[in-house]
Amino acid sequence: MGDSWFTGNSIQDAVLWNETTPTIIPVFGGAGGSIAYGINDSNEVVGNSWLTGNTAQHGFLYASGTVYDLNSVVAPGSGVTNIRVAASGDVINNLGQISAYGTYNGQTVAVLLTPTPEPASAVFMAFGASMLLMRRGKHRQRVR
Distance between CA 35 and CA 42 in Å, rounded? 19
pLDDT of 86: 83
Distance between CA 51 and CA 29 in Å, rounded? 6
Decide which of 137 and 22 is more confident: 22
pTM of the model: 0.71
112: which strand partners?
A: 99
Query: What pLDDT, in 10s, does the model give residues 39-90?
Result: 899 989 898 888 777 778 889 998 888 889 999 888 888 899 999 998 876 7
Sheet hosting strand 57-63, strand order edge to edge: 29-39, 45-51, 57-63, 66-69
Report, as an integer, the average pLDDT of 118-129.
52
